[in-house]
Chain A
Amino acid sequence: MLLVIIMNLISLIAFISKRSKLLQLAANTENTEEKNAFLRSADGQIWKIVLFGIALFIELILLLMITSSPH
């Protein structure tokens, strides 16, 4: 369980860092076409971040339930 949480957390951080890198590349690009492509790609990371964020949240709740269980 803990391993899954760690792996999801790493993935989540990876998607967030990829998004910020793409936004940075977009900011440094002068070509409008290329800039738009970077921004589109950065937007494409949002659903992955949301999905992994929800999964991580559910896992944390489950972990909390398991650890707080009297048995």
Chain B
Amino acid sequence: MYLLYLIITVLIVAGALIRKSMSRSTLEIIHPAREAKGSAKLLYLRSFKLDGKGWVTTNTDIFEGLNLFPPELDLAKAFIKFDFHLIAVGRPGEKIPEIGFDRKYFNNDVWQQEVIKLISESVLIIYRPDPSDAVLWEFEQVLNAKASDKLMIWANMGYNTDIKLNKVRYNIFKKKAFERLQEELPEFNKFKGWIALDAQGCWKSFSGLGMKQIPAYIKATAGRKI
């Protein structure tokens, strides 16, 4: 019986690794092609601390090194079916796990200007919040550029099933966003991981399945499906 469990586990791990490697190689081919074609940009803003990781700590630490189901890769896959050039900003010289997005590298002197430029050029912005000030700065730039109507906040706070920890981290971000930017974001909802402006222009939480009802998503993806 236990041997059966072991075989199932090995099969799942092998399957997940093959799936990950195939997704990665497909995306590596698609990104340059989309860039050359001049496809509409989709910008992904996040903390470098969570880069390439779905979760900083998980309940299955033994497989953490393998990073079997990187949600950022799945996120990229969910949007690559539309004619988007998926972009994320990286630090020069970094060597971090795949995140599924085409990483653009800028020096410390110019990265802020480049991020601002990318914010205005992108048709859709996915923002993964974090309590750090640097990530809040990016949120501020989106608001300053009056681009909040094309913003989707992906409230994946990086700690998997540890709801309390995720909630505390989100609440710190929410508090900072209110104090510094006077933006009243919705309460943490473990079932609704997406936050965006609704049709009335108020911040609202959406579930993963309800993502397709987000006005920013509808507007950006209309007529782009390949």
Contact = CB atoms under 8 A, between A and B. Distances in A.
Nearest to A16: B61
A25 B56 contact: yes
Interface in A5-62: 7, 10, 13-15, 17-18, 21-22, 25, 31, 33-34, 36-38, 40-41
Contact of B168 (A4, A14, A25, A34): A34
A34 B169 contact: yes
15 contacts: A3-B2, A13-B61, A14-B59, A14-B60, A14-B62, A15-B61, A18-B61, A21-B56, A21-B57, A21-B61, A22-B57, A34-B169, A37-B164, A37-B168, A37-B169
A34 B49 CA distance: 15
Interface bin, chain B: 20 to 34
A3 B6 contact: yes
B117 to A, nearest CB: 31
Interface in B43-101: 56-62
A4 B5 CA distance: 11
B3 interface: yes
A14 B3 contact: no
A10 B61 CA distance: 9
Nearest to B6: A3
Interface of A: 3-4, 7, 10, 13-15, 17-18, 21-22, 25, 31, 33-34, 36-38, 40-41
Given A3-B2, A3-B3, A4-B2, A13 B56 contact: no
Interface in B93-141: 131
B3 A41 contact: no
Which of B57, B62, B172 is most buried by chain A, counting CB atoms within 10 A of its CB?
A: B57
Nearest to B132: A31
Interface of B: 2-3, 5-6, 56-62, 131, 159, 162, 164-165, 168-169, 171-172
A33 B6 contact: no
4 smallest CB-CB distances across A and B, nearest first, come from: A37-B168, A14-B61, A3-B2, A41-B165
Given A34-B168, A41-B162, A18 B59 contact: yes
Contacts of A25: 56-57
A18 B57 contact: yes
Contacts of B159: 41
A37 B59 contact: no
B131 A38 contact: no
A62 to B, nearest CB: 15
